[in-house]
Amino acid sequence: MAKSNSLPDHVLRVCTYTELRQYALAFADACLNLLLLFGAAGLGKSRCLREAVGEQVSWIDGNGTPFGIYMEAYKHRDQPLVLDDVDGLHRDHRGVRLLKTLCQSEPSKRLCWMTAAAELEKRGIPRQFDTTSRVAIIANRWETLNADVAALQDRGHVLHFEPSAGEVHRHCAEWFWNQEIFDFVGRHLHLMASPSLRTYGLAWELMHAGLPWRPSVLSRCLTGPALEVAKLKADPSFEAEEARVRAFVEAGHGCRATYFNHARKLQPPADIPAIKLLHTKPPEPAPQSPLDLLTLLRQRHGDLGAG
């Protein structure tokens, strides 16, 4: 049995959206037979691939079972297949074995399903069929649990998308519309260990609802006393630094020295380049509620709202 690892040794580290688009376009142009794309949630992986492949593809979301994938593969045989948000698929031996066959490097593959004969007959689907479909797999998490998973990975190009906070910020500028939120996030990029496009959309959701949005952004960067200092720094109701220090101490978060120690660490290491947004309003049609906004963002930016 293969040793369990998070990703195989031959994984390709992709750090920019330009690089990611190049691989997505290569898959869309039928240059890649199998593309395995992994990376943290909220980075727009799905959207990038959707833009590249267009409509001539079968898109199967994370709720797809191995049996469901078999039926979709028959229904869309010879068309590209994208399995999106399939974080647990590597743990399903039936799914991995099916994909091992589907993702063979030969131009034509023969898929078989020997159970559920009645269900297949009712749907007019044979127990075996040939297809030339290419496959892309998108997931937030993946592990090389056994030899079957290792064999599947060996059949394709394994990418791990790991953009920096600055790269995510620059990409967000292509579609986001609120300069105040965008600039506030930009001033705290150095604190973000796990950047996400969700940060911007969720902050706008709170702003749109008339709720405090700055603490939401900061809570994605910090915890404990550092978070409390950052909240006080971002609160426009304080006119002087001394008032912030007093509020910090009175709330029991620490002493004056603790406040100033964290305040120094919150300072950006360098000037943040100013980026002027191209858009000044949300996507059309204008959302009538925060829930409508998230729906629009999911449609427009893929896994922005997915897990």
pLDDT tens digits, residue range 125-139? 999 999 999 999 998
Q: How far apart are CA 60 and CA 76, in angstroms?
A: 11
**149 has a pLDDT exceeding 90:** no
**162 has a pLDDT exceeding 80:** yes
pTM of the model: 0.80
pLDDT tens digits, residue range 232-243? 988 889 989 999
Q: Are strands 12-14 and 157-161 parallel, antiparallel or unpaired?
A: parallel
Q: How far apart are CA 81 and CA 93, in angstroms?
A: 19
**185 has a pLDDT exceeding 80:** yes
If pLDDT is split at 50, 70 and 90, which confidence band does 300 have? low
If pLDDT is split at 50, 70 and 90, which confidence band does 55 have? confident
If pLDDT is split at 50, 70 and 90, which confidence band does 292 have? low
| pLDDT mean across residues, the chain | 85
Instruction: Calculate the alpha carbon distances from 184 to 155, 230, 240 in Å.
Output: 43, 12, 19
If pLDDT is split at 50, 70 and 90, which confidence band does 1 have? very low
Q: Which helix (H) or strand (E) holds 34?
A: strand 34-39
Mean pLDDT of 170-197: 92
pLDDT tens digits, residue range 71-87? 999 999 999 999 998 76
Which comes out higher in pLDDT, residue 277 or 8?
A: 277
Mean pLDDT of 7-30: 92
CA dihedral 238→240→246→248, nearest 10 degrees, is 60
Q: What is the CA radius of gyration of the chain?
A: 23
Residues of the chain with pLDDT > 70: what percent?
87
The confidence score (pLDDT) of residue 261 equals 92
The confidence score (pLDDT) of residue 15 equals 96
Q: Are strands 128-131 and 109-112 parallel, antiparallel or unpaired?
A: antiparallel
Helix axes 241-250, 256-266, angle to 10 degrees: 120
Mean pLDDT of 167-196: 92
Mean pLDDT of 265-292: 73
**304 has a pLDDT exceeding 50:** no
Tell which phi-psi region holds residue 116, choosing left (phi > 0), alpha (psi between -120 and 50) or beta. left
The confidence score (pLDDT) of residue 99 equals 87
Residues of the chain with pLDDT > 90: what percent?
51
